[in-house]
């Protein structure tokens, strides 16, 4: 993944959802690697074009960096749900060393998102647009669930 696929002047880098993913990715960087990187460079590994996907083996174990990206993504999604609902959203992620697992987001006693994770070593999105669409779709479903079951979410 030498060639970047996100332009530094891409208008979508200013999208609040994308900004939150960048914030979470930078927060996961305990060694300060991203300190000197631009936002487009930090986000770049999240975008897996067809050519990039072809370079990744079909079967493989996820590395720590990939797992950190997954955690950052679900943290950003939780933060988005929290902002929209006004209630604390907590991501719970369990991934085996083989790349399978589950990601849940819990608000109070309510599970608002339950996603089975497979082949996490190939985690990523076709484009920034697809990532934004996915966050919007999942967060709107979660907020609707919270609104339908507010009493449980407030427990």
What's the CA gap between 85 and 83, in Å, rounded? 6
Interacting residues of 6 by C-beta distance below 8 A, sequence separation 6+: 13, 40, 43, 44, 47, 128
Q: Which domains does the chain have, with CATH numbers?
A: 11-153 (1.10.3100.20)
The pLDDT tens digits of the residues spanning 68-126 come to 999 999 999 999 999 999 999 999 999 998 889 999 999 999 999 999 999 888 888 99
Q: For residue 122, what are the CA distances in angstroms to 30, 33, 78? A: 23, 22, 22
In this prediction the pTM is 0.88
């Amino acid at each position: 993944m030498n060639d970047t696929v996100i332009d530094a002047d891409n208008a979508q880098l200013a999208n609040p959802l994308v900004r939150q993913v960048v914030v979470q990715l930078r927060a996961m960087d305990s060694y300060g690697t991203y300190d000197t990187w631009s936002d487009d460079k930090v986000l770049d590994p999240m975008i897996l074009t067809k050519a990039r996907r072809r370079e990744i083996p079909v079967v493989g174990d996820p590395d720590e960096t990939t797992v950190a990206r997954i955690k950052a993504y679900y943290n950003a999604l939780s933060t988005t749900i929290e902002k929209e609902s006004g209630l604390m959203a907590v991501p719970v992620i369990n991934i085996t060393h083989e790349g399978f697992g589950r990601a849940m987001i819990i608000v109070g006693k309510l599970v608002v998102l339950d996603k089975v994770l497979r082949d996490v070593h190939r985690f990523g999105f076709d484009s920034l647009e697809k990532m934004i669409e996915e966050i919007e779709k999942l967060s709107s479903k979660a907020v609707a669930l919270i609104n339908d079951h507010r009493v449980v979410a407030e427990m």
